[in-house]
Amino acid sequence: MSRLNGKTAVITGGATGIGLAAAKRFIEEGAFVFVFGRRQDALDAAVASLGPNARAVKGSVSDEADLDRLYAAIKAERRTLDIVFANAGGGAQLPLGKITAEHIDETFNTNVKGLIFTVQKALPLMERGGSIILTGSSAGTTGAAAMSVYSASKAAVRNLARTWAEDLKGTGIRINVLSPGPTATDLAKNALGEEGIKAFAAMNPMQRMADPSEIGAVAAFLASDDSSFMTASEVAVDGGLAQI
């Protein structure tokens, strides 16, 4: 497996969960990977597990200065950048009637504003053949109680890919959305507990949650030339949750 041989990738939210699984797959397929995240302990553990073809940079996507440090580090060591996996994101539940300005700001600063600047600041390092992958969510196309702000942020991500594909015409850079459904990351398993996991598993036709490695495999496909005629697309890796 060498579809990404010689390529340089950055993965935000790359120290744990889907981001870490994608980093492992990218490296297995020949890439050199920078993982970016907010927790130094998680970054240290990630690099230890990923090996010599990984580097870690600490920071938040909601802080433009942190992103500038990230891309300066990539430029200094690798000069150019082939793959951007804008994966950092999150959100809490709050029902209509209890939504606060702080809740909106926190969600959109990471999921939308942070994603916008993650991509925009990467562009000067990217060349023809580059691939940008945005992490969406099945929540971007479905309705769920108390998830309106998070869902709206992920719907925005879907449309950013459409509009940026137009903006990137002629550059040779592709952009697509990877939209997971319920995924059995360590964070999700700890938060949901055994009963919660069973409940989420029952929501999709596959009757289980995804393993992070399954999402990472699709990220590698979108990063590689196997998806060379895809842009502005959304790939749902959700066990059919948002498809029926």
Task: Determine which one of 24, 150, 169, 189 is catalytic.
Answer: 150
Nearest to 3 by CA among 21, 23, 24, 28: 28
The residue among 180, 177, 178, 176 whose CA lies nearest residue 229 is 176
The active-site residue out of 24, 154, 169, 189 is 154
CA atoms within 13 Å, Cβ hemisphere of 10: 33
Q: Rounded to an integer, what distance in angstroms lies between the CA atom of residue 195 and that of residue 199?
A: 6
Give the contacts of 124 (CB within 8 A, at least 6 positions apart): 71
Distance CA 30, CA 119 (A): 22
Q: What count of residues does the chain have?
A: 244
Respond yes or no: is residue 71 known to be catalytic.
no
Please, are residues 50 and 25 in contact by the beta-carbon 8 Å criterion? no
Residues acting as catalytic residues: 150, 154
